[in-house]
Amino acid sequence: MTSPSMQATACAQPNIALVKYWGKRDAALNLPAAGSLSITLAALHTRTHLRFDPALAQDEVVLNGRRESEHTRKIGGFLDLFRARARIETRARIESGNDFPTGAGLASSASGFAALAVAADGALALGLAKHELSMLARRGSGSAARSIFGGFVEMAAGDRDDGTDAFATPLLDAAAWPLEVVIAITTREQKATSSRDGMQASQRTSPYYRDWIATVPGDLATARDAVLARDFEKLAHVSEASCMAMHAVMLATRPALIYWNGATLACIQCIRSLQAEGTGVFFTIDAGPQVKAVCLPQAAARVADALRGIDGVEDVLASGLGEGARLETVSA
Ligand code: 2P0
């Protein structure tokens, strides 16, 4: 049972998938159709304060300083998973803020649900193990399962119907291979099609969907080997291939899912020119128009300068690799 008011604050960072997740084997439990591999960023944060309060008649969500109604049902349903474990029905107030653009392909749902899972675990004193937190974070957003951990992280698709084997595990610490990520922001607008809707559409209509899912285990094995051997070139090849195969599936979806804009393609071409000169960099792009350039540390400043000079690039962010989601404060 909870005391009258239990609260906690948690912080999490987004992650960028190098072997991509695009498709589900079960929509209700949000089980991925294939595994994925990611890096957790250091410089972008979601901070979430959660307070269970018996005086509340319903859950309240404040996102980036604004009272939200759009996401309240989904977030309430997510908190129900934790309330069920704590055997309470107490409603909660959630205040969450990002220090980076929300909903524009920078994985705010990954850091958001990872932070909320850790805050709920802390506020309700559940003492969940990390793999359980990852499994629960997955219910909010598949990519959130990965932000529970820092550095290089692998998400398992699992094959159990109940999803108890579909969680992330850490592969290599951030400090063990300190890569840098330079992010070219090409728009701050919200995307037109959410990842969830886009994945469902690809699964239903893209003629390449099955082949895409079949390529993931091989790409995962290659990427895992590359990470453990700190082989940048090998990681670059497999990451770009996974990204482009996913976008091919998106483009072949009917109607086509085009997440890029003109500046996205200009950034890819710029990164290819830098590679031809021997610069240690590769690109990856998610369900949005931003381009993430993964760099060897000595290449990051040059890559940032080059991307900043491209027409249509509104801003450039840089980040190292960071830690997993964590509890900052907890109190009654
Ligand atoms: C990824 N993306 O692996 C891929 C690449 C976008 C493109 O994970 O439906 O917001 O909530 O599980 O996690 C974005 O998908 O989707 C994503 P749901 P999520 O990073």
| Structural domains for the chain | 7-173 (3.30.230.10), 180-320 (3.30.70.890)
Q: What is the DSSP letter of 41?
A: B
Euclidean distance between CA atoms 45 and 13, whole angstroms: 5
Rounded distance from Cα 260 to ligand 1 centre (Å): 16
Euclidean distance between CA atoms 75 and 271, whole angstroms: 38
Tokens of 231: 């082989």
Q: Does ligand 1 lie within 6 Å of residue 286's CB atom?
A: yes
Q: Does ligand 1 lie within 6 Å of residue 284's CB atom?
A: no
Residue nearest to atom 17 of ligand 1 (CA): 143
Would you say 300 and 292 are in contact if contact means Cβ atoms under 8 Å apart?
no
From 154, 195, 283, mutation site for ligand 1 pocket: most ligand atoms within 8 A of C-beta: 195
Tokens of 267: 């950034």
Rounded distance from Cα 332 to ligand 1 centre (Å): 34
Euclidean distance between CA atoms 158 and 235, whole angstroms: 23
Tens-binned pLDDT, residue by residue, of the chain (332 aa): 445 459 999 999 999 999 999 999 999 999 999 999 999 999 999 999 999 999 999 999 999 999 988 889 999 999 999 999 999 999 999 999 999 876 556 778 999 999 999 999 999 999 999 999 999 999 999 999 999 999 999 999 999 999 999 999 999 999 999 999 999 999 988 788 999 999 999 999 999 999 999 999 999 999 999 999 999 999 999 999 999 999 999 999 999 999 999 999 999 999 999 999 999 999 999 999 999 999 999 999 999 999 999 999 999 999 999 999 999 999 88
Alpha helices, DSSP H, located in 206-298: 209-228, 232-251, 262-276
Rounded distance from Cα 141 to ligand 1 centre (Å): 7
HSE-CB at 180 with a 13 A cutoff on CA atoms is: 16
From 18, 38, 102, 143, mutation site for ligand 1 pocket: most ligand atoms within 8 A of C-beta: 143
Q: Does ligand 1 lie within 6 Å of residue 32's CB atom?
A: no
Question: Angle at Cα 100 formed by Cα 95 and Cα 102, nearest 5°?
Answer: 65
96: Cβ–Cβ under 8 A, 6 or more apart, which residues?
46, 47, 48, 49, 61, 62, 63, 64, 112, 115, 116
Q: Does ligand 1 lie within 6 Å of residue 154's CB atom?
A: no
Residue nearest to atom 20 of ligand 1 (CA): 17
pLDDT at residue 2, rounded to an integer = 47
pLDDT at residue 103, rounded to an integer = 56
Would you say 61 and 71 are in contact if contact means Cβ atoms under 8 Å apart?
yes
Rounded distance from Cα 290 to ligand 1 centre (Å): 14
Q: Does ligand 1 lie within 6 Å of residue 242's CB atom?
A: no
Q: Does ligand 1 lie within 6 Å of residue 36's CB atom?
A: yes
Q: Does ligand 1 lie within 6 Å of residue 139's CB atom?
A: no
Would you say 11 and 115 are in contact if contact means Cβ atoms under 8 Å apart?
yes
Rounded distance from Cα 195 to ligand 1 centre (Å): 6
Q: Does ligand 1 lie within 6 Å of residue 30's CB atom?
A: yes
From 141, 153, 238, 239, mutation site for ligand 1 pocket: most ligand atoms within 8 A of C-beta: 141
pLDDT at residue 191, rounded to an integer = 80
The burial of 298, by beta-carbon neighbours within 10 Å (0-12 exposed, 13-18 middle, 19 or more buried), is given as exposed
Would you say 19 and 37 are in contact if contact means Cβ atoms under 8 Å apart?
yes
Q: What is the DSSP letter of 191?
A: P
Euclidean distance between CA atoms 240 and 141, whole angstroms: 23
